[in-house]
Amino acid sequence: MARAFVFPGQGSQDVGMGRALAETFPAAREVFDEVDDALGQKLSAIMWDGPKETLTLTENAQPALMAVSMAVVRVLEREKGVKLAESAKFVAGHSLGEYSALAAAGAFSLADAARLLKLRGQAMQAAVPVGQGAMVALLGVGLDVAEKVAAEAAQGEVCQVANDNEPTQVVLSGAKSAIDRVAEVGKAHGVRRAVPLPVSAPFHCALMQPAADAMAEALANVTISVPVVPVVANVIASAVTDPNEIRRLLVEQVTGTVRWRECVGYLAGNGVTDVFELGSGKVLAGLAKRIEKSLEAMSLGTPEDIEAAAPKLA
């Protein structure tokens, strides 16, 4: 049995996430305290008590989701004797989850990951004035059709594939006026539904270039170590271990497509049989089983999840 640990992205946040971990495991509490100290804010209070609108702000949601993922990692390592380097063949994360994956694999310190994600959230929010960008999920079609819909809806504006999540779910991102045209254009291409996403900015498209520039500057000043296991990078859907390549791909990721369907395919194609999603929510476990029917997938986000999974990871 070969395992991969995967880490969720934005949208999996919820008020109360991580509280039970902190109350049950000292190792988890330590992670939340470290993140609070690194950011100079009581992020854990926002995570556990809300309000939801404050937690959902990109600059809070990104480090918060990483903190929950790292709390699970720390509990597994400190309290269950599960060493990532021995237990996982690969790690991967969806968008911001790639930072969680890198921190879990020792490429980033916890404090650096928290500060980078805070900045990433701020930079992404500032890149496009509120109301000028949007994102929409296309249901019932795959990447080829989604690319045609994006090209037709663009009409000279930015409209591109942001997330290739699974064979029948692709997210487009770009200028609001272009995204507004997607539903009508999609009808002619067999799109079952076009669902506008409740996001504050158009992530993973060319409009995010100012955020990519900000991350290039920030990442240039951060130490990246060789990860203890290879990281499957979003924008190339294959494994990397070289710190300079990791740095370059994280910058590209801001404006590039999250090729999650292909990332999961890469895992399965390289011998992975079991996927464990570490952190808040169950989105990636669900996607894994829809992308590759052969995969077993479990989510670990609560003390009960950890207790259930620990024997399988021993």
Q: What are phi and psi of 162, to 5 degrees?
A: -95, -45
Angle between helices 26-39 and 110-127 (to 10 degrees): 50
Query: What whole-number distance in Å separates Cα of residue 203 and Cα of residue 254?
Result: 7
156: left (phi over 0), alpha (psi -120 to 50) or beta: left
Helix axes 110-127, 97-104, angle to 10 degrees: 170
Strand extents, DSSP E, the chain: 3-7, 90-93, 133-139, 159-166, 169-175, 193-196, 231-233, 238-240, 274-278, 296-300
Per DSSP bridges, beta strands 231-233 and 159-166 are unpaired
CA–CA distance, 60 with 39 (Å, rounded to integer): 10
Total count of residues recorded for the chain: 314
Q: Are 150 and 175 in contact (CB under 8 A)?
A: no
Separation CA 294–CA 34 (nearest Å) = 38
- Determine if the peptide bond prior to 227 is cis (ω within 30°): no
DSSP-based three-state secondary structure for 10: coil
Residues with a catalytic annotation lie at: 95, 204
